[in-house]
A and B are shown apart, each in its own frame.
Chain A
Amino acid sequence: MRMDAAEPAVRLPASPRLRWRRFVNRAFRVAVFGAVIVVLAPLVAILGTVISRGAPALDWDFLTSLPKPVGETGGGVGHAILGTLILAFGGLLMAVPLGVPAGVFLASDRMPRLGGVVRMCADVLAGVPSIVVGLFAYTLLVLPFKHFSALAGAFALAVIMLPTIARTTEEVVRLVPSTLTEAALALGAPRWRVMLRVVLPSAGKGVAAGIIAAFSRGAGETAPLMFTAFGSQFLSLSPLQPIAALPLVLFNYAVSPYDDWYAQAWAAALVLAVLVLAGNVVARFAMARRSP
C-alpha cells in the first residue's frame, strides 16, 4: 500500500489542523523508515566484522588441520567442521523420521483436537531455551553412561530441529491443492498411497527446505552441545566419544586469554556464518520455488 495520496485537482489552503496532521504523518514515516535503518545496521556491522577479521586467518590449512598447542602458530578447525557436520546430520537422522510424519499428521486435520494439542506442543518446544534442551539430553544420554558423547549432542540438536521440521512440513503439505488429493482418491487409491505418491512428492521441495532450515539452525547451536558433545581437540568419528563442534571451538577461543586464538575465533565465525547462512538461503529459494 502506497502512502502518497494523489494531488487534488483544486488546492484549498490547508487549515492549521490539517497542516499539523500532515506533519505528524510525515514525522511518523521518517520514524518508521529510521527504525528499519537502525534494525539493519547491526546486520551490516556484524557480517562486515566477521568477514574483515575472519578472512585474513582463513586458508586451506585452517579448514583442514587440527589445533596446535598454545604458542605455536597455525593449526585449524578441521576436526570441528567435521564434528559439526556429523552432529547436524546425526540430529537430522533422528528428527526427520519423527518430524515429517508429525507434520503430515498436523496437515491432515483428521483429528482436529489432538492436532491442536500437538501443534501447540511443537510451538512451545520451539520456544524452550536451547540450554534447557542440552540439560535434557544430558540427563537422558550422558548421566547414565557417565561420559559426554557425540550421540548425546546429536540428540540435543534433534530436539531443537524437530519443531521446525514438523511445522514447515505441515505448512507445505497444506499447500498441496485438494483437487490433486481428491483426484487420486477418486481413482480408488488408498489414503496412504495418495500421501506417499501424490502429496509428499508435490510438497517435496518444501519439506526439503524445512529440513535444510533445521540443519542450518542446528549447525549454529552452541548451548545444547556444551555438556553433551562437550568438544574435543582431536578428530573423532565415534558416536560414543566427545566430539568437537565449530560453535564450541568459537566460544572457547573467544573466552580464552590468547590473541592467537581470537584471530582463529573470527575465522571460525566466518566458516560458521557461511555454513549457516548458506543453508538458510538455499532453504528460502527452495521454498520460493515450491509448486503452487
Chain B
Amino acid sequence: MNARPSSSRVDTAFQASLVLAGLGVATVLAGVAWEVLSLSGEALSKGGIGFLTGTTWDPVAEEFGALPALYGTLVTSAVALLIAVPLGIGSAVFLSEMATSRVATVVGVLVDLLAAIPSVIYGLWGLFVLAPLLREHVQPAVQAAFGSLPIFAGPPLGVGYGTAGLLLAIMVIPVITSVSREVLRAVPDTQREAAYALGATPFEVIKGTVFPFARSGLVGAVVLGLGRALGETMAVTMVIGNRYDISASLFAPGYTLAAVIANEFAEAFSPRYLSALAGLAVVLLGTTLILNAGARLLVRRVKGAA
C-alpha cells in the first residue's frame, strides 16, 4: 500500500508525457505553417493579390508573380486525376469485389510497391524512358489525329504539362486505389446481399448499392490523390520542362509551384527572392492542407458509418 501514492504520481507523469508527445506532433504542423508563412511575409505583403495574379518571374528586377507556376500545378494535377481516377477506383473495385483473397493480397502488395518507389526514380524513368517514348511515338500520332486542337499544339518535345500529368497519374493511382479499397471494404455486405437477392447483376450491385454507400469516401480517396499530385516535386521537376510560362497546349513545357522552389531555392540570392519562393510554398501548403483535412473527414465518415 505504500507504493500507491508514488506509483500514481508516476502514472500521472507518464500520462502527461504521452499528452506532451501528442501536442508535439500538433506543434510540428503549426511550426511548419508558421515558419513558411513568416518567411514569405515580405513577398505576400508587398505583392498582395498581385503575387497570385502576376505572370512575370524576374528575380533580378525583383518582380514576382505566381500565376504560371500555380497554373502548371493545377493543370498537371487535373491531367493526373483524369487518368488516375477511373484506373484507381477500377482497381479498387477489382480488389474488393471481384478478386479472390489470394489474388487481392498479391495485387495489393504490388500496388503498395508502386507507392513506395521514391519519386526521384519516377523522375529518372520519366526523363529517360517516358518522355522520349511520348516524343517519338505518341505525340506525333496524337497530332496527326487531333492536331487542330489547341491543347495538342506546338512541337512534340516529350517534356511538358502532359508528360508530367501522366507521370503524376502513375504516382497517385496507388493512393487512390488503396484508400478506395478500404472504403469499399467498409460497405456492409448486407447492402450487396439485398441487391443480389433482387436479382441484380454484379455490375448493378456495385453501381446501385456499393458506390452510393461509399460515395463520399471515394471522393475523399480522390482528394487525397490530388493532394499528393499537387505537392509532388522531384518527378515533376524532371519532366515539366521548366519554362515559366502559361500555355494551353499539353505538349508545351511549363513549371509548377514545387518545381520552382526545388530549382531556385538553393540559389536565391536576396531576401526578397527567398521570400517570394516561400510565398509559392504558402500557396502550395494552403491548398494541400485544406484538401487533406477535407478528404480525411470524408473518408472517416464512411468508415465510421459502417
Q: A residues bordering B, Cβ < 8 Å? A: 1-3, 21-22, 24-25, 28-29, 31-36, 38-40, 42-43, 45-47, 49-50, 98-102, 104-106, 108, 110-111, 114-115, 117-118, 120-125, 127-136, 138-140, 159, 162-163, 166, 190-193, 195, 216-217, 220-223, 226-227, 230, 247, 250-251, 254-255, 262, 265-266, 269, 272-273, 276-277, 280, 284
CB-nearest residue of chain B relative to A3?
Answer: B202
Q: With the chains together, A139 CA to B37 CA distance in Å?
A: 11
Q: Determine the chain A residues whose CB is within 8 A of the CB of B234 once the complex forms.
A: 222-223, 247, 251
Contact B7 A123 (CB under 8 A): no
Q: With the chains together, A265 CA to B114 CA distance in Å?
A: 20
Q: With the chains together, A1 CA to B206 CA distance in Å?
A: 12
Q: With the chains together, A22 CA to B201 CA distance in Å?
A: 7
Contact B285 A251 (CB under 8 A): no
Q: With the chains together, A226 CA to B265 CA distance in Å?
A: 9
Q: How would residues 114 to 129 of chain B score, 1 for a CB under 8 Å from any chain A CB and 0 otherwise?
A: 1011111111110111
Contact A39 B177 (CB under 8 A): yes
The minimal Cβ–Cβ distance linking A9 to chain B, given in whole angstroms, is: 16
Q: Determine the chain A residues whose CB is within 8 A of the CB of B141 once the complex forms.
A: none
The minimal Cβ–Cβ distance linking B246 to chain A, given in whole angstroms, is: 21
Contact B281 A269 (CB under 8 A): no
A39-B111, A192-B11 are contacts. A117–B98 as well, Cβ < 8 Å?
A: no
Instruction: List residues 190-240 of chain B with CB under 8 A from any CB of chain A.
Output: 192, 201-204, 206, 224, 227-228, 230-234, 238
Contact B22 A102 (CB under 8 A): yes
CB-nearest residue of chain A relative to B260?
Answer: A131
A98-B21, A128-B288, A230-B266 are contacts. A118–B26 as well, Cβ < 8 Å?
A: yes
B261 within 8 A of A: yes
Q: B residues bordering A, Cβ < 8 Å? A: 7-8, 10-11, 13-15, 17-26, 28-29, 31-32, 35-36, 38-39, 86-88, 90-91, 93-95, 97-98, 100, 107, 109-114, 116-125, 127-129, 170, 173, 177, 192, 201-204, 206, 224, 227-228, 230-234, 238, 258, 261-262, 265-266, 277-278, 281, 284-285, 288-289, 291-293, 296
CB-nearest residue of chain B relative to A251?
Answer: B120
Contact B88 A39 (CB under 8 A): yes
Contact B118 A105 (CB under 8 A): no
In the complex, which of the residues B100, B117, B124 has the most CB atoms of chain A within 10 Å of its own CB atom?
Answer: B124
The minimal Cβ–Cβ distance linking B14 to chain A, given in whole angstroms, is: 4
The minimal Cβ–Cβ distance linking B24 to chain A, given in whole angstroms, is: 5
Q: With the chains together, A111 CA to B165 CA distance in Å?
A: 43
Q: With the chains together, A118 CA to B21 CA distance in Å?
A: 10
Contact A127 B90 (CB under 8 A): no
Contact B113 A280 (CB under 8 A): yes
Contact B284 A190 (CB under 8 A): no
Q: Determine the chain B residues whose CB is within 8 A of the CB of A284 once the complex forms.
A: 109, 112
Q: Determine the chain B residues whose CB is within 8 A of the CB of A254 once the complex forms.
A: 120, 123-124, 127-128, 238
Contact A108 B110 (CB under 8 A): no
A220-B118, A250-B121 are contacts. A121–B25 as well, Cβ < 8 Å?
A: yes
Contact B25 A125 (CB under 8 A): yes
Q: Determine the chain A residues whose CB is within 8 A of the CB of B18 once the complex forms.
A: 101-102, 104-105, 108
Q: Determine the chain A residues whose CB is within 8 A of the CB of B32 once the complex forms.
A: 125, 128, 132-133, 136, 159
CB-nearest residue of chain A relative to B114?
Answer: A43
Contact A118 B36 (CB under 8 A): no
Q: With the chains together, A140 CA to B38 CA distance in Å?
A: 12
Q: Determine the chain B residues whose CB is within 8 A of the CB of A47 once the complex forms.
A: 117
Contact B10 A124 (CB under 8 A): no
Contact A43 B113 (CB under 8 A): yes
Q: Determine the chain A residues whose CB is within 8 A of the CB of B7 once the complex forms.
A: 190, 193
Q: Determine the chain B residues whose CB is within 8 A of the CB of A101 once the complex forms.
A: 17-18, 20-22
